[in-house]
Amino acid sequence: MSTLPATAALTAPRRPRRGGAARAAKGALGVLLLLAAWQLSVPLVGLGPYFYPAPSDVIAAFGELIRKGILPSYLGDSLWRYLVGLSAGATLGIAGGVLIGINRRASLMLSPLLTFMFAIVEVAWIPIFVIWFGYGVKTIVLTLIYVVFFPVLYNTLLGVRTAPQILVNAVRSLGASRLQVLRLVILPSALPNIITGLRVGAGFAFRGLVFAEIVAAKSGIGYLIFEGTESHQTARTIVGMIVMGLLWLAIDQLYLRPIERATIQRWGLTTEAGERA
């Protein structure tokens, strides 16, 4: 029992996408037009670089941050915190979702508490974490764990609860233990939901990272955004914002989307075009 019946139609190869280069060129053109409009608007607005930096100021600030070693170091710090927080939050979320999904007693005990906690946004926790753990990595990682935990947990729970009962019964009737049912049916069928939860959690974590670094760090891209404004170097703040955007784009396009697509094609219910049914 290595695959679900619903995946049988998924092995058909996807039709190759046409015009990928043309789409990328159009996207690049949009960015260039925005940059040109921004640069041209600077003399019209007539404000100093502190209020309204030009793209050329931002490019110069980017070069300076690289030359001075600030950007690579902050980028490394942010990515490390992000990876640790995301991994720990996802692990706890998956474990919690599976536990609540398969154990009725755990579900009854934890569901109200989790619903209550879900309503409390991470921003409210940061001051408490700062009091308990001080400024720095612990507070940031805990914030990220909190942010990632809930979307992963609820999506995992959904995946576990919607596992095809007919397959569970079939495996049970063949004498499978509870662990085998979990490993052979429930987890594979929940995988697309888990991956979707991870993708949502990864996005939330990225926003949480910026906020946590603004409040509780002396390094990182979030801190760069904050420090740039504090030191009247607005161009640096914009560099931080652009780096954040590009970083998320890279994570989403290079990792999350392909992994989600591959998981859905392998384990999920999809149409011929490879989209989720």
Partner 1 sequence: MLKLPLTATITILAVLLVYFAAGALGAQRKLAPLAPLSDTRANYRVALDFPPERFHQLFLQDKGRMVGVHGNVVDMMDVEPAALRDIARQYWVSSIERWSGR
Binding interface with partner 1 (CB under 8 A): 67-70, 72-73, 218-219, 227, 250, 254-255, 258-259, 261-262, 265
Q: Closest CB to partner 1 among 178 and 218?
A: 218
Q: Closest CB to partner 1 among 154 and 223?
A: 223
Q: How far is the CB of 70 from partner 1 (least distance, A)?
A: 5
> Can you tell me the distance from the alpha carbon of 157 to that of 269, in angstroms, rounded to the nearest whole number?
17
Q: Closest CB to partner 1 among 172 and 266?
A: 266
Q: Closest CB to partner 1 among 150 and 226?
A: 226
Q: How far is the CB of 160 from partner 1 (least distance, A)?
A: 24
Q: How far is the CB of 197 from partner 1 (least distance, A)?
A: 18
Distances (CA, A) of 89 to 75, 96, 151, 169, 276: 21, 10, 10, 32, 25
Backbone angles phi, psi at 270, to 5 degrees: -130, 165
Backbone angles phi, psi at 54, to 5 degrees: -80, 160
Which of 191, 275, 193, 196 minimizes the C-alpha distance to 10? Answer: 275
Q: Closest CB to partner 1 among 75 and 171?
A: 75
Distances (CA, A) of 67 to 55, 136, 169: 18, 25, 62
Q: How far is the CB of 252 from partner 1 (least distance, A)?
A: 11
- List of residues 6+ apart from 110 with CB closer than 8 A: 96, 99, 100
Q: How far is the CB of 169 from partner 1 (least distance, A)?
A: 31
Q: How far is the CB of 72 from partner 1 (least distance, A)?
A: 8
Q: Closest CB to partner 1 among 72 and 127?
A: 72
Q: Are 165 and 107 in contact (CB under 8 A)?
A: no
Residue 270: beta bridge partners? 276
CA angle 251, 230, 241 (to 5 degrees): 20
Q: Are 103 and 96 in contact (CB under 8 A)?
A: no
Q: How far is the CB of 136 from partner 1 (least distance, A)?
A: 13
Reading the block at residue 264, the tokens are 């859905």
Reading the block at residue 74, the tokens are 């902050």
Q: Closest CB to partner 1 among 73 and 162?
A: 73
> Can you tell me the distance from the alpha carbon of 230 to that of 240, in angstroms, rounded to the nearest whole number?
13
